[in-house]
Structure 1
Amino acid sequence: MKTWIALIRGIGPTTHRVMTMQQLRDACVGAGFDEVRTILATGNLLFATKVGLPAIRKRVAAIISDHGLTNPVFYRRPAELKAIVAKDPMPDAASERPNHLLVMFLDKEPAPQSIDALSAYDGPEQILVSDREVYIDYVDGVGTSKLTPTAAGAAARTVRNCAELEHGGQARCSCWSGCEGLADSLWPSMLLPCSTRSTSSTVT
């Protein structure tokens, strides 16, 4: 039995009208997944299963389609998330503006031309591509940036959400560069370091 994290892009108030998190959990249980949980209400799905990734993709896609949605889904194992945080490639940004440092998760490693396009991007953001993730320092904030997960074909979450998901709703680290606890507690797809105090959230 292996634990998987499915990050469903674009889940929010609009999609809740046709698929609530309770409906998503129920459908996953009905599809044969075990230990099904969702964290927050933004499509963070955690489950255990004996089947491989191809079968997982097919089942989750069918669940989403049955609710009339076409949202892409990104998959990671907990160990992969731990490794992402451990890299800490932008320590200054993590220390000075942790709420502006995000990790964008992709379905596969980007092609060279895509990396070149990101390198040529003329914006204030600092960008670093590593495997299937893109670390982005939104120097001037995320809200007004043109560099969005949708534009890049990715899903997005926060590092705090990763910790909360693995600990059933408890975040227990203070910042990206001080994530000793987070290394044992990861979970999802655009990730931010935690705020400066431990925070709890409701498992939905």
Structure 2
Amino acid sequence: MADRAPTFIILLRAIGPVTHKLMSMAQWRDAAEQAGFSAPETMVNTGNMIAQFGGTAEAARKAMLPVLRGFGLGENIAPIVRKPAQLRALLGADPISDAAQARPSETGVYFFAAKTPDFDWIKDHDGPEAIHVVADHLVVDFTQDVAKSGKLIRKIDKFCGLNTARNWNTTRKLAERASAREKE
């Protein structure tokens, strides 16, 4: 449908059991709809939303901020917005094909708030994790339990700024559902 508002994927940073006490996914959907997002739907319970919004990705991000603050969520809870095409391109690059199939919970995609995060530090990374840059995102094969990669995660936070991560399967499911919505 040519005149329908664009579809966006909204990924919240720092969502978990503590924040669920302040904002359930159902409450988030209702508040997003009142803020101008069309047919918001959430996937899993970790701050993933797909919705249409009449504007740019930056306008969607700005419109989502007061929704989150309305629940009393602090500045550390931040929306990172992507278009379905961005996730499709990321998945199409498929830099971790074997890892994503063998160890999907040990693969991750980092989404950044900054348009051009600083990735210069990666050349000095000496951990067991394999890191790939795909269109201003990091795709990481942790090669082990993610909890054992605290050093890498701290480096990503320090050098790349505000971010959120999703495993490969969640990223794929979000891209598939958002793409299907674009066709509806």
Structure-2 residue corresponding to 1:98: 104
Choose the corresponding residue for 2:165, options 156, 159, 173. Answer: 156
Query: Which residue, out of 19, 22, 29, partners 1:18?
Result: 22
SS of residue in 2 equivalent to 1:19? coil
In structure 2, the partner of 1:46 is: 50
Q: Give the alignment partner of residue 132 of structure 1, picking from 136, 139, 155.
A: 136
Question: Secondary structure at the residue paired with 2:165?
Answer: coil
Q: SS at the partner of 2:81?
A: strand
Distance across 2 between alignment mates of 1:106 and 1:119:
19
Are 1:31 and 1:59, in contact at CA under 8 Å, matched by a contact in 2? yes
Please tell me the root mean square deviation across aligned C-alpha atoms, in Å.
2.4
Change (3 A) 1:109 1:185: farther
Per mean C-alpha deviation after superposition, the further-off stretch among 127-136 and 92-101 is 92-101
Task: Single out whichever of 51-60 and 79-88 deviates more from structure 2.
Answer: 51-60
Write the mapping of 1:1-204 to structure 2, written as runs, cut at 5 A. 1-69=5-73, 70=75, 71-107=77-113, 108-111=115-118, 115-146=119-150, 147-148=152-153, 151=157, 152=160, 153-165=162-174
Q: 1:77 to 1:145 in 2, by over 3 A?
A: same
Distance 1:130 1:105 in 2: 10
CA spacing shift, 1:121–1:38, aligned 2, 3 Å: same
Tell me the secondary structure at the aligned position of residue 51 of structure 1.
coil
Structure 1, unmatched stretches of 5+, are: 169-182, 187-204
The answer to whether the 8 Å contact 2:105/2:168 transfers is no
Name the count of aligned residue pairs. 169
TM-score for the superposition, normalised by structure 1: 0.73
What code does the residue aligned with 2:170 have? N
TM-superposed CA distance for 1:48, in Å, is 0.6
- TM normalised by structure 2 equals 0.80
Whole-Å separation in 1 of the counterparts to 2:169 and 2:180: 10
Q: In structure 2, how many angstroms separate the alpha carbons of the residues matched to 1:99 and 1:64?
A: 28
What is the identity, as a one-letter code, of the residue corresponding to 2:80? Answer: F
Between 50-59 and 6-15, the greater mean CA deviation after superposition = 50-59
SS in 2 for 1:127: strand
Q: Give yes or no for contact 1:10–1:155 (8 Å, CA) kept in 2.
A: yes
Alpha-carbon contact 2:9-2:84 (below 8 Å) kept = yes
5+ unaligned residues in a row in structure 2: which ranges? none
